[in-house]
Structure 1
Amino acid sequence: MPDEIALLVADVFEAAGLLRRSGEAIAATEGQTQARWQLLSAVSESAQTVAQSARRLGVTRQGVQRVANDLVAEGLAAFRPNPDHRGSPLLALTADGHRVLDGITTRADEVHRTLAADIPPGEIAGARTALRRLIEQVRRHGAGDRQSGTGIRQSGAGDRQSGADGRAQGA
């Protein structure tokens, strides 16, 4: 069974790489990158601080800050005052940001339909179930703890990098 887990992990990494490249291509249809797509999606339903977005996406605050600054400079997002913390403004989409995100999401939906066309829905659901169980096992056994010595990084609850609508970013 450990060999099967190792093979599954290798498959997940391979799929992640392919999906990341596909996601970059999808985002490029609207002149964006996958990182920008992820942040647009993360703040699409409610404004968030950069730190909140970083936790949700499972990436560094500094990386999100750079992407947020790019989105603001491009007019796709804006920083708004945060009533809870003056030093941490809220990032919110502008009307143009919503338009760009809608365009990317529409293209992603088309790609997802194409990818799923030859895979029975039950198999997709079964794969998701198995993957979610593996994720929970990794979390339960502390495989992200520095003390465990496993070298496996464990992110927070938002590490699936799904958008506000629950869909994974990428193809």
Structure 2
Amino acid sequence: MQEHPLEPDELAHRLAEVFDLVGPLYRRVLRKVEQAAPAEGLSVGVRAVLNLLGEHGPMTVPQMGRAQALSRQFVQRMVNEAAADRLVEAVPNPAHRRSSLIRLTDDGRAAIAAVTTRERALMRQAGGGLTDAEVTACVKVLGEMLALFDDVDVDGRLD
């Protein structure tokens, strides 16, 4: 059977099905992370900052906000919280004197490694006999949906 791209109306219907699953999934994962927060000592927001820095290296607060579709103010509060716990530190930014780069400390790297190890252990329990092709397709679909809303600025402006 040869697959063909969906017509726009059918595509819209099918992507709406994905949206209907993403919201509850996000909220359940958020609750699970919050339940484990006392054990890890990380809030959901700090965890997001640490994960982003672990994946991409040092970034500015505005860069982190754009990457996660979060307001700069929220990201700054999370960075401040992480810095108070010595999980991140500000370092000079050669590209911009007034906007420091934020990077993980050794404690920050250890904290995010512990969290991701625990989360991956939980994800290994996923059933359904998922194949690599199915997960690849899911990532592609979600990436396309995310790109659809790239022009939305969480600080209230359209880019």
Q: TM-score, normalised by structure 2?
A: 0.75
Q: Structure 2 CA distance, aligned partners of 1:130 and 1:105?
A: 21
Match of 2:130 in 1: 121
Q: Which runs of 5+ in 2 are unaligned?
A: 1-9, 155-159
Q: Structure 2 CA distance, aligned partners of 1:42 and 1:135?
A: 17
Q: Which runs of 5+ in 1 are unaligned?
A: 146-152, 156-171
Quickly say closer, same or farther: Cα 1:89–1:107, change in 2 above 3 A.
Answer: same
Match of 2:113 among 68, 93, 102: 102
Match of 1:71 among 56, 75, 82: 82
Moved over 6 A (4+): none
Match of 2:34 among 7, 24, 29: 24
Point out the structure with the larger helix share.
2
- The percent of aligned pairs where both chains have the same amino acid is 28
Q: Structure 2 CA distance, aligned partners of 1:82 and 1:144?
A: 26
> Aligned to 1:121, what secondary structure does the other structure show?
coil
Q: Structure 2 CA distance, aligned partners of 1:59 and 1:92?
A: 18
